[in-house]
Amino acid sequence: MLDFSCVVLYSNIVQYPGHAEESMATRATYSRARANFAKIWNEVENSREPAILERRGHESMALLPADELSSLQETAHLLRSPTNAARLLAALARSKSKQVPPVELETLMEELGLLD
């Protein structure tokens, strides 16, 4: 069963902050994008924010770093299952509450018998 505190946590932390149009680094028409492609590419690369490219009569497209796309796809996959989403968000809430002391990765791997 989905814990509604996780839903609040999801909407406050996991989702993209702010309104999508407000947080975009760049919006460009097709013509401007063609004339300034290297500049737009560099802005996207440096800011890690997508650029929206618009062409009359066509859908808008986004230019974003491939690793950002991969991260978004992985996050969507992990949150697709309501049960998995609730479990992950509950773990995030526990972590942010700092009620459970942090454990070094090596210590955890040793406890789980994952070290050779």
Q: Is-above-0.75 flag for pTM?
A: no
In this structure, what CATH number is given to the domain that contains residue 40? 3.40.1620.10
**22: containing domain:** 4-111
Structural domain count, the chain: 1
Q: What is the DSSP-derived secondary structure letter of residue 59? A: -
- Where does the pLDDT of residue 21 fall: very low under 50, low under 70, confident under 90, or very high at 90 and above? very low
Q: Does the residue 26 lie in any domain?
A: yes
**CB of 34 within 8 A of CB of 24?**
no
Q: How far apart are CA 109 and CA 116, in angstroms?
A: 10
Does residue 24 surpass a pLDDT of 60? no
Q: Does the residue 116 lie in any domain?
A: no
- Where does the pLDDT of residue 8 fall: very low under 50, low under 70, confident under 90, or very high at 90 and above? low
Average pLDDT over residues 89-116: 89
Residue 23 pLDDT: 55
DSSP states along 18-39: S-HHHH-SEEEEHHHHHHTHHH
